[in-house]
Each structure stands twice: as structure tokens, then as C-alpha cells.
């Protein structure tokens, strides 16, 4: 043996039995754990067909044999007649070769360090050749060479771990740490043999403990390695897909650039035509906007489609007529531009008001403003909408007076039938005719400043919703006595209870 003096202890029978049973229990736990690792890795090998698990199973067998036959020597508990010396010199001889082979395969030495891989395999072949040659060597020589080979093996695995770690295989550093722990416990075993300390843990030698820890750590690293390989494969796949995507995008870019060139040529050839079409469309839109501005939409569409528009009878409409009080007298003392500016401001406001209430502006005649509700589309609320528009116009003029306005206004409304249509072929305009229009003008002329005067026909349509003051029968030119009413306000809901 090259292990130094073997300590001899004397026990009583009872103490020996206790000591023996404790050792059997510890050895049983050790063998059970190693068998579990062996069987689980065999299962993975047959399931996944990955030879790395088979290499690791061989490593577990070597670790177990180290503890069973070389260091702890509890082989007799299993095989009472086993030749311990044969096991003692054979296991280390085979073990160094298997451990270094596993190290080279596990860390993918050929991939990360090809030159070191050649050196490592040279050493491994030396271990294999020595395993055969040692059969003819003296025992003392074999024991000495086994020790040297163990040191070479430790050194080689440490170098492999560090080199592949630097080359980018992070397993190398973890592998190096695992073998550092293994080596440290082997050193503890050597110190224990010489000094008797540090003491064994649960009667298990430091070397056996190191193989136990080594087997556990390497098993964990083996599983982690495949996880990292899967992650690396996924990353490589993603990189490949990214390159494919970039290539596809590059091709698409080339196609787009060619399309842009073609489109530019087409655009250049059609630019003049497009410009002409835009000018025509712009002029057409101007004409259409102008047509819609001077005619009701339905009448404008009819005129566009047919070239003419027939006059129509409308039986239920309301006509609004307004006029500024003493317009001629006020205008004589004003700059014409100021007069027109004030008219423009007021009529713009009137336009907005009548549009908001659904009325159709017909025209302005000097300072008079004419609008109607109920045409060209019938509106059952024509009278109410017209009254609301008239009251808003009166309110606007009242507010305008407080802001420096110069005009007062009268308003009149009448309801009934009329005829509407377009007359002439040049500077044509949409207009309305009939007694209803004339009566509306009479309502305005017989109104008072700031008030809304309505006829009896309009009153009958709105009396339920508005506060009205009966003015009596008033003589009207060419019409005799006519009932008239001032509309003062809309009914408040609370007053109707």
C-alpha cells in the first residue's frame, strides 16, 4: 500500500457491532445514492440516446469503486472473498483514463481548444496503454506510478476546465470548481492518513465524500449543460431567423427601390395630366360650391343633372322678412364703406342664425332680409323654426346695439302656400312668389322697432308654445283689416303647469 501506516483500534464486541452497523448504514447510504445517480443517468441515456449520460454512468462506477475498494475498503461487506489488492491497483489505473475522457467530451475540448484536445488524448492513450503494461510491473512500481498518474489527471482536468472556460464554455469554470472540491478533499484524505485529522464525516472517508460531492455536482452540471445547449440552440435559431429576416428585408428593400424608380417614371409621365385633372376638379368644385351657395341643395342637384329646374308649389311654409328701421336716413350720414361693413356683419349673423334653425335664405333686397322654412324639403315645424330664428335675430340686434351698432330692426312672419323656383338663364337665382310672401312683408312693415309681428295663420301654428300679444285688426294696403300678433317669448315650462 502507498497509504502509509494503517491505524489499529481495539473494541469490545458491543462497541464493534455498533461501529460496524454505523459504517454499514453510512456505506449503504453512499451506495444507494450512487446507484440512484447511475440508474437515473442510464434512464436518460436510453430515453434521450445521448452518449454523454453513458459516459457519466462510467464515471459514477469509477467513483463508487474508489470508495468501495481503494479508500474506504468496504468491499468485503459486499464480497467477503474479494481480492482487495487487485481492486486497489486496478481502479486508479482505469479511473484516470475514464475521468479524463469524460472531461474532454463533457467540456467539448475538441471544439474549444483543438490543440489541447490532441494533448489530452495523448495523455489518455498513455493511461490506457499503462493499464495494460502495469500487469507486468512490480507492485511497488505500480503504486508509485498510480500516484503520479493521479496528479497528472488532476492537473490535466484543471487545465482543460480553465482553458475551455476562457474560450467561452462556461461549463469549464464550473467543472474546475467541482474538481477543486474533489482535489481539496483528497488532500484532506492524505493529511488524515498521516495525522489522523481532520476526522471522517459519518465514518465516510474524505475521498468517498469527495466522490459523492463530485458525482452530485457533475450530475447537476450535466443537466444544466443540456439546458444551456438548448438555450444556445434557440439563440442560434433566432440569429438564423434574424439573418433570414434581414435578407428578406434587404430583398424587399431592393424591390421597393425598383418600384419607387418605376413609380417615379410613371409619375413624371402622368404629372401633367394629373395637374390638368386637378385644375379641372378645382374649377368644378368652385362651380359646385358657388351653385350650392346660391341655391338649395336639392335644387342645385336637379339643375346639375337636368340643366333646368321646375318651379314647385309648397303648401306649408313660413316666410321671415326683416328690415332695418330708417336705413335710408342713417345711410345718408355714413361713409358708404362703413355702411356696407355694418350690413355685412349683420347679414353674416343672420345667415348663421337661419341655417342653425333650418331656414333657407332666399335673398337680401337692400337692407331687407328674406328667408323661408319648409322648402325644398317639407318641415312640420316650419312655423316654430321661423319664429325661433326671428327671435334670435332680434336678440342679436339688441346685443349689437349695446356694442355700438347703428341699426334697429323690425321682423315679420307669415305662414301659408307659395311657389318657388329659378327664373332666367343668366345670373339666375332661386326665388319665392305668392300672397304668403307679400303678407310676410306687410307683417314686417306693420311691426315695431325690435319686435316680431306675425299673421293670424302663423299665430294658429305657434300659439301653444309662445307668448303672443294680440294687436287687433290692422288695415293693410290692398288686404283690408288683418289680425296681427306680437310674439314676445317662448312659453316657460313651469308656466304650463
Averaged pLDDT for residues 231-247 = 79
Report the pLDDT value the prediction gives residue 224, as an integer from 0 to 100. Answer: 67
SS3 466: strand
Please give the pLDDT value at position 467: 92
Would you call 471 helix, strand, or coil by DSSP?
A: strand
Average the pLDDT over 225-252 and give the result: 77
In the three-class reduction of DSSP (H, G, I as helix; E, B as strand; rest coil), residue 314 is classed as strand
Q: Which three cell numbers stand for residue 309?
A: 329646374
CA-CA distance, 441 to 64, in Å (whole number)?
122
- The CA–CA distances, whole Å, from 295 to 272, 360, 361, 430 equal 34, 9, 9, 6
* pLDDT over 70 at 465, yes or no: yes
Grid coordinates in use for 339? 355702411
Instruction: Indicate if the pLDDT at residue 1 is higher than 60.
Output: no
* pTM, 2 dp: 0.45
- Of 68 and 98, which is predicted with more confidence? 98
Task: Specify which of 51-60, 305-314, 459-468 reaches the highest per-range mean pLDDT.
Answer: 459-468
What whole-number distance in Å separates Cα of residue 409 and Cα of residue 320?
13
CB neighbour burial string for 296-308, b if at least 16 within 10 angstroms, e if fewer: beebbebbeeeee
The residues, ordered by sequence, that sit 6+ positions from 455 with a Cβ below 8 Å of its Cβ are 413, 414, 415, 439, 440, 443, 482, 483, 484, 485
Of 325, 488, 338, 351, give the one whose Cα is nearest residue 404.
338
Mean pLDDT across the stretch 28-45?
Answer: 74
**Pick from 184-198, 344-358, 371-385: least confident:** 184-198
Q: Is the pLDDT of residue 364 over 80?
A: yes
What are the phi and psi torsion angles at 358 (to 5°)? 85, 20
From 29, 27, 58, select the one nearest 41 (Cα to Cα).
Answer: 58
pLDDT band per the 50, 70, 90 thresholds, residue 2: very low
Q: Which of 221-225, 277-281, 287-291, 333-337 has the lowest mean pLDDT?
A: 287-291
Which whole-number Å values give the CA distances from 329 to 151, 326, 444, 450, in the listed order? 128, 5, 18, 18
- Across 34-38, 150-154, 296-300, 322-326, which has the greatest mean pLDDT? 322-326
- Give the span between the Cα atoms of 150 and 354, in whole angstroms: 109
Q: Which three cell numbers stand for residue 456?
A: 293670424
The domains found in the chain, sorted by start residue, are: 13-241 (1.20.1070), 311-496 (3.30.70.1230)
Q: Give the whole-angstrom CA distance, residue 459 versus residue 436.
A: 14
pLDDT tens, position by position, 389-399? 999 999 999 99
User: Span 84-106, mean pLDDT?
Assistant: 79
> What does the mean pLDDT of the chain come to?
80
Model pLDDT, residue 348: 93
DSSP state of 135: G
Distance CA 268, CA 263 (A): 8
Between these two residues, 186 and 494, which has the higher pLDDT value? 186
CA–CA separation, 192 vs 205, rounded Å?
Answer: 9
Task: Label the pairing between strands 360-365 and 368-373.
Answer: antiparallel
Amino acid at each position: 500500500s502507498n497509504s502509509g501506516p494503517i491505524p489499529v483500534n481495539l473494541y469490545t464486541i458491543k462497541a464493534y457491532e455498533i461501529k460496524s452497523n454505523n459504517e454499514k448504514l453510512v456505506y449503504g447510504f453512499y451506495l444507494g445514492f450512487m446507484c440512484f445517480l447511475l440508474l437515473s443517468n442510464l434512464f436518460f441515456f436510453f430515453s434521450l440516446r445521448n452518449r454523454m449520460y453513458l459516459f457519466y454512468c462510467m464515471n459514477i462506477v469509477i467513483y463508487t469503486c474508489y470508495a468501495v475498494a481503494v479508500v474506504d475498503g468496504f468491499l468485503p461487506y459486499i464480497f467477503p472473498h474479494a481480492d482487495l489488492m487487485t481492486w486497489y491497483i486496478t481502479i486508479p489505473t482505469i479511473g484516470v483514463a475514464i475521468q479524463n475522457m469524460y472531461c474532454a467530451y463533457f467540456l467539448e475540448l475538441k471544439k474549444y481548444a483543438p490543440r489541447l484536445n490532441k494533448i489530452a488524448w495523448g495523455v489518455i492513450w498513455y493511461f490506457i496503454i499503462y493499464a495494460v503494461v502495469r500487469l507486468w510491473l512490480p507492485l511497488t512500481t505500480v503504486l508509485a506510478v498510480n500516484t503520479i498518474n493521479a496528479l497528472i489527471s488532476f492537473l490535466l482536468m484543471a487545465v482543460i476546465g480553465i482553458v475551455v472556460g476562457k474560450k467561452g464554455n462556461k461549463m469549464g469554470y464550473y467543472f474546475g470548481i467541482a474538481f477543486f472540491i474533489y482535489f481539496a478533499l483528497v488532500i484532506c484524505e492524505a493529511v488524515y492518513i498521516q495525522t489522523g485529522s481532520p476526522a471522517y464525516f459519518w465514518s465516510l472517508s474524505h475521498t468517498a465524500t469527495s466522490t459523492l460531492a463530485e458525482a452530485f455536482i457533475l450530475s447537476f452540471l450535466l443537466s444544466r449543460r443540456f439546458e444551456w445547449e438548448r438555450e444556445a440552440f434557440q439563440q442560434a435559431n433566432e440569429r438564423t431567423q434574424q439573418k433570414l429576416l434581414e435578407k428578406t428585408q434587404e430583398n424587399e428593400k431592393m424591390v421597393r427601390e425598383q418600384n419607387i424608380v418605376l413609380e417615379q417614371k410613371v409619375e413624371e409621365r402622368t404629372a401633367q395630366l394629373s395637374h390638368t385633372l386637378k385644375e379641372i376638379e378645382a374649377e368644378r368644385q368652385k362651380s359646385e360650391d358657388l351653385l350650392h351657395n346660391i341655391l338649395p341643395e336639392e335644387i342645385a342637384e336637379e339643375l346639375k343633372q337636368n340643366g333646368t329646374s321646375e318651379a314647385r308649389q309648397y303648401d306649408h311654409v313660413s316666410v321671415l322678412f326683416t328690415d332695418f328701421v330708417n336705413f335710408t336716413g342713417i345711410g345718408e350720414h355714413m361713409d358708404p364703406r362703413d355702411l356696407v361693413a355694418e350690413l355685412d356683419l349683420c347679414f353674416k349673423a343672420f345667415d348663421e342664425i337661419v341655417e342653425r334653425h333650418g331656414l333657407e335664405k332666399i335673398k337680401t333686397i337692400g337692407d331687407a332680409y328674406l328667408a323661408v322654412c319648409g322648402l325644398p324639403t317639407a318641415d312640420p315645424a316650419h312655423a316654430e323654426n321661423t319664429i325661433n330664428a326671428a327671435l334670435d335675430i332680434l336678440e342679436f340686434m339688441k346685443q349689437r346695439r349695446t356694442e355700438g351698432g347703428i341699426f334697429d330692426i323690425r321682423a315679420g312672419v307669415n305662414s301659408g302656400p307659395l311657389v318657388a323656383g329659378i327664373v332666367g338663364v343668366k345670373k339666375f337665382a332661386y326665388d319665392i312668389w305668392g300672397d304668403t310672401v307679400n303678407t310676410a312683408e306687410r307683417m314686417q312693415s306693420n311691426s315695431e322697432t325690435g319686435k316680431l309681428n306675425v299673421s293670424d295663420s302663423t299665430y294658429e301654428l305657434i300659439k301653444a308654445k309662445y307668448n303672443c300679444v294680440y294687436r287687433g285688426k290692422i288695415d293693410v294696403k290692398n288686404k283690408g283689416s288683418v289680425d296681427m300678433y306680437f310674439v314676445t317669448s317662448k312659453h316657460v315650462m313651469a308656466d304650463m303647469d
